[in-house]
Amino acid sequence: MQFRKFTFSLAGLVVAIGALTVTLPRAAHAVASALVQVTNGASNPVITQDISQQATQMVHLYCTGAPGIVPYCSAFGSNGAALSTNNSYTVPSNQYLVITSDLTASYAPIAGASDGPCPATSYATLEATLAAQSFNINGWTLAINAPTTHFVYPPGMTVGPGMQLSGLTTSTSVKCGVIAEIYGYLTSN
């Protein structure tokens, strides 16, 4: 007997909800469906990328150094034009630069040396300065006649706010230089 009462009560509830759904105005249906819909269109895009993949946060640096030459790091925009006019990139004061990869090569274009890869082992260090203090960010050892080498840093190397990348310091037994194209992104945390 109680089962029958429960069944009738449940059936009555279903009928009441169905009747309410039919009698509600279309505007109420539209509001209810808009609460759960996400439209990803050109006029209102939904961000689906990690912060490191957003174009506005990506950083491309060209750093070089050679014995007797002032080292520098320049930033480039997506169109290939240089962004840093003073040839020394400074991380914005409210962000961190996370370096994720680089392409590094040694070269010998200095007077008295042949063009092409360096005929000796090259050592290079990426340096940054902050408040007149110098910091080593990363170092590379490039073998004799090494081709361009690609290094990846999955967790990334962090360069702090306000630090100025002063370029590569190098040392070799002959006068060779090093170029590094550095890729990363800016983040606020």
Q: Tens digit of pLDDT for each residue in 118-151?
A: 888 888 889 888 988 888 888 888 888 888 888 8
Q: Exposure string (b/e) for 81-106, b if CB count within 10 Å is 16 or more?
A: eeebeebbbbbeeebbbbbbebebbb
C-beta of residue 123 within 8 angstroms of C-beta of residue 106: no
- Other Cβ atoms within 10 Å of 62 Cβ, number: 18
Q: Residue 179: give its domain's CATH number.
A: 2.60.120
Residue at 149 is within a domain: yes
Has residue 71 been placed in a domain? Answer: yes
Beta strand spans in 14-66 (E): 58-66
The reply to whether 106 and 182 lie within a common domain is yes
Residue 78 placed within a domain? yes
pLDDT in tens, 35-60: 656 666 666 666 665 554 555 678 88
Could you tell me if 150 and 62 lie in one domain?
Answer: yes
Residues 67 and 112 in one domain: yes
Answer whether residue 84 is part of any domain. yes
Domain shared by 28 and 56, yes or no: no
**pLDDT at position 100:** 92
Q: Are residues 100 and 134 in the same domain?
A: yes
For residue 33, the surrounding DSSP H or E stretch is helix 26-34
Beta strands in 9-95 (DSSP E): 58-66, 69-76
Say if 40 falls within a structural domain: no
> Is residue 46 in a domain?
no
Residue 186 has pLDDT above 60, yes or no: yes
**Co-location of 153 and 99 in the same domain:** yes
Q: Are 139 and 180 in contact (CB under 8 A)?
A: no
- Does the pTM surpass 0.75? The reply is no
74 and 121 housed in the same domain: yes
The reply to whether 89 falls in a domain is yes
The answer on 29 and 90 residing in a single domain is no
| Residues 98 and 10 both lie in one domain | no
Question: Are 22 and 81 within one domain?
Answer: no
C-alpha closest to that of 58 among 100, 118, 9, 93 = 100
Average pLDDT over residues 63-73: 83
Looking at the 3D structure of the chain, how many domains does it have?
A: 2
- Domain shared by 59 and 28, yes or no: no
Domain span at residue 9? Answer: 2-34
Q: What are phi and psi of 103, to 5 degrees?
A: -115, 120
pLDDT band of 162, cuts 50, 70, 90 = very high
